Amino acid sequence: MRTLIALGGNAMTAPDGRARPEDQIAAVGRATAAVADLVAAGVEVVLTHGNGPQVGNLLVKNELAAHVVPPVPLDWCGAQTQGTLGFVIVSALEAALAARGSAKPVAAVVTRTLVDAHDPGFKHPTKPIGRYLPADQAAAMIAHGQTWEDRGARGWRRVVASPEPLAVLDAGAVRTLVEAGFVVVACGGGGIPVVREETGARAGMEALAAPGVRARGSGAAVGDVGVGVRGGGTVAPGAGVGVRGVEAVIDKDLSAVLLARAVGADHLVIATDVDHMYLHYGRADERALRHVGVAELRGYLAAGEFGGGSMAPKAEAACRFVEGGGTRAVITSLSSIREAVLGEAGTVVDKETDRA
């Protein structure tokens, strides 16, 4: 049985939301215990994770140090958090497996996710990230090429694109590792957002003005490895097609579906902070969904049952996974991961249409 488990960002912080290094290490230790139980029982696991709190911390550092060093682009923030969290998760999972008598190897893969340079989200970024700032501080960040919006009394807040993920570019490496016996950590934060483009110095320079993609900064520097583009990432020299990082955030659960398909996962488990999806959530007549078919869940989505909150994209991801041939998707709490893989906990989504 091959399962992809998508850990929510809450799994990487303390219960009260603190994200100090010691808080994150402790939280990851708790999260990986359940994963280690599954691996020790013979389940092949690919693990993805959120990175919202960690990217948020990096953005604060960008803001505080903007007058000293240039802010790093958002794709770099994603790459940095993939590296940091990958290291922490691998270390914790290795220790948890060893405690269970398992020598299963674990690896983390820095993962890029392809998006369309012409995705409408780039022209009209709407995804708010980071903290609120007063106008003068926001102006300093705007001067570095970022997009900020006036949110009234609360101040200004940065907005970025959230384009549709098209493909996980490093999925082949992930699958190779899984088939070699590794537990793999990949696609953190939905993956580092990149777009396709022609390579070479000329293409790298022209990419700064690519339609639909807001470039950062004011130039490029040709180095030994490639063309370092302040629009994000690098463009390799020579002919052909390369990729370039862009200012965006990608929904991690939608990217998880792409990765799950690419590695041939039978099951998708989306871990969040509630045991089930709920109808009429927060009302006197709220009801837990325990088993729901794709067609029925599509109906709830179309009716706006899950609003614009974080549950709607999870429901969408569950539908896409099953529609794409997956056996079942389960949305549940972190503490119920093991039971969810067996279909014994959480909201089970499959092709059945007669139960809720």
Q: Active-site residue numbers? A: 9-10, 127, 252, 314
Q: What are phi and psi of 279, to 5 degrees?
A: -90, 145
Is 255 within 8 Å of 48 (Cβ atoms)?
A: yes
Instruction: Show the CA angle centred on residue 9, arms to residues 288 and 163, nearest 5°.
Output: 95
C-alpha distances (whole Å) from 302 to each of 26, 168, 251, 254, 315 are: 39, 27, 19, 17, 11
| CA–CA gap between residue 246 and residue 72 (Å, rounded) | 12
**Residue found by looking up tokens 């903290």 in the block:** 131
A 10 A CB-CB count for 281 gives 16
Residue 314 corresponds to which amino acid? K
Q: Hey, is 103 helix, strand or coil?
A: coil
Residue 137 corresponds to which amino acid? Q
| CA–CA gap between residue 146 and residue 128 (Å, rounded) | 12
| CA–CA gap between residue 260 and residue 183 (Å, rounded) | 14
Is 226 within 8 Å of 234 (Cβ atoms)?
A: yes
From edge to edge, which strands make up the β-sheet containing 167-168?
167-168, 112-114, 192-198, 241-245
C-alpha distances (whole Å) from 129 to each of 53, 73, 147, 155 are: 10, 13, 11, 13
Is 141 within 8 Å of 133 (Cβ atoms)?
A: yes
End-to-end CA, the chain? 26
Q: Could you tell me whether strands 287-289 and 234-235 are parallel, antiparallel, or unpaired per DSSP bridges?
A: unpaired
